[in-house]
Structure 1
């Protein structure tokens, strides 16, 4: 098996990643979902690739936005506006702040993806997430003791403790292992499909399992965000009827 690297400059990168890919977005999602439906959080999370491509254009010299990708980014951000705007028209209420929190979390994920590409290339796929989660834990334990003071709270119920275990074991640890294994064994196009799965399944499970009721702007926003991400990933360019027609070679007489 592999070991974590010795203390050195690489741990600075792990510390940054532990903050922007784990501690900060996890905290924002957990706080924000107290005030918004889980489906809305999943839809907002689906916009992560749009933020990623913007940051990549700024910081990665060989990853510029093409006109086609810019169209996808604009469509996707249009979806975010449709999703968020109605909650802002009545003033900044708890729902508004919850939506803003999950959008900021998605921005943080976009920063993390670009930072990882620039500074952690070639790192064994299971070493980086292990180190990141370790650092994120070191961030969160003292903060939770200081801010939430869990030692003053009653013991969580068995259902709550079980939910935390499932979220940590399957939603975080196992998900990281599967994701980085896929990066090793599958092509990028296949791995990017997770972008489409999160909002679709998030909406489905929120409505079916949690009986959440979504308004029209949630469905329209979800559709626009998914369409924007698909344009950015070049999905529509691969459709046969969108391929440029080849001109027949002239007949030689």
Structure 2
């Protein structure tokens, strides 16, 4: 839910840095509508327990803010960059850091590597990262950044639908209303 502020942050930074990006009433209504939809999807599970989750919440807030800032910076200064090249360095560094963190902080005896685990990792690497972010960076050059930022509202909707379809999770009324 916290990451749903991303489109708001994109509007804020693009208003400051991108004179060609017009933020009209329709875009603002689109961001508000999408945020309300995400709120509806997660409303039953929301908790404001800052005592246990403050650092995690601040990390997600920082992540959304930094991603918005970098998207606007790429929109402004990165028109010459190749979308595939823009993926390589962050994915490589992120992968190395996550691997190192896992080795340092996780119980390696609990790791179970089977076909399902390998297929999941390959699926996430290819479709969840490489293809998705290449398309995202390509679109960043082609369409309005606020419109593109609305794509962040799609991920929770897909997750809820896939949970229902593949994992037999229940679909609540708020999930349906929020998805509309």
User: TM-score band, normalised by the shorter chain?
Assistant: 0.5 to 0.7
For 1:1-40, list aligned pairs within 5 A.
none
Checking the alignment, whether the CA contact within 8 Å between 1:50 and 1:76 is kept in structure 2 is: no
Checking the alignment, whether the CA contact within 8 Å between 2:41 and 2:178 is kept in structure 1 is: yes
Larger radius of gyration: 1
| Matches of 1:74 and 1:170, distance apart in 2 | 28
Choose from 17, 27, 32 the match for 1:69. 27
The gaps in structure 2 that reach 5 residues or longer are: none
Q: Deviations over 1:150-196 (max 9, x none)?
A: 3x434423322222122213322233445556678xx538x95x938
| Distance change in 2, residues 1:144/1:154 (3 Å) | closer
Q: Which residue of 2 aligns with 1:204?
A: 161
| Matches of 2:174 and 2:10, distance apart in 1 | 24
> In the comparison of the two structures, how many residue pairs are matched?
172
- Does 2:146 align with 1:188? no
Checking the alignment, whether the CA contact within 8 Å between 1:46 and 1:198 is kept in structure 2 is: no
Matched position secondary structure for 1:209 = helix
Q: Which one has more relative contact order, counting CA pairs under 8 Å at least 6 apart?
A: 2
- Does 2:123 align with 1:166? yes
Choose from 28, 52, 56 the match for 2:14. 56
RMSD: 4.0
Q: CA deviation at 1:129?
A: 0.9
Please give the TM-score of this superposition, normalised by the length of structure 1. 0.50
Greater share of residues in helix: 2
For 1:1-253, list aligned pairs within 5 A.
48-88=6-46, 92=49, 104=61, 109-150=67-108, 152-179=109-136, 188=143, 192=148, 195=151, 198=155, 201-223=158-180
Q: CA deviation at 1:201?
A: 4.3
| Distance change in 2, residues 1:112/1:181 (3 Å) | closer
